[in-house]
Structure 1
Amino acid sequence: MAVLKVIEILANSEKSWEDATKKAVIHAGKSVKNIRSVYVKEQSASIKNNEVADFRVNVKITFEVD
Structure 2
Amino acid sequence: MAKKKTESVYRVTEIIGTSPVSWEDAAKTAVETAAKSLRDLRVAEVSKLDMKIESGKIVEYRARVSLSFKYEA
Q: What TM-score results when the alignment is normalised by the length of structure 1?
A: 0.90
- The code of the aligned residue for 1:14 comes to P
The percent of aligned pairs where both chains have the same amino acid is 33
Among 52, 59, 62, the residue aligned to 1:56: 62
Higher RCO (C-alpha under 8 Å, 6+ residues apart): 1
CA distance in 1, matches of 2:14, 2:54: 27
CA shift for structure 1 position 51: 1.4
Report Cα offsets for 1:13-49 as digits up to 9, x if no partner: 0011110101111111111010011111111001122
For 1:1-66, list aligned pairs within 5 A.
1-66=7-72
Bigger-Rg structure (1/2): 2
CA distance in 1, matches of 2:14, 2:20: 21
CA distance in 2, matches of 1:48, 1:34: 38
After the TM superposition, which segments of 4 or more aligned residues of structure 1 sit over 3 Å from their partners? none
Where does structure 2 lack aligned partners over 5 or more consecutive residues? 1-6
Q: Which has the higher strand share?
A: 1
Tell me how many residue pairs correspond in the alignment.
66
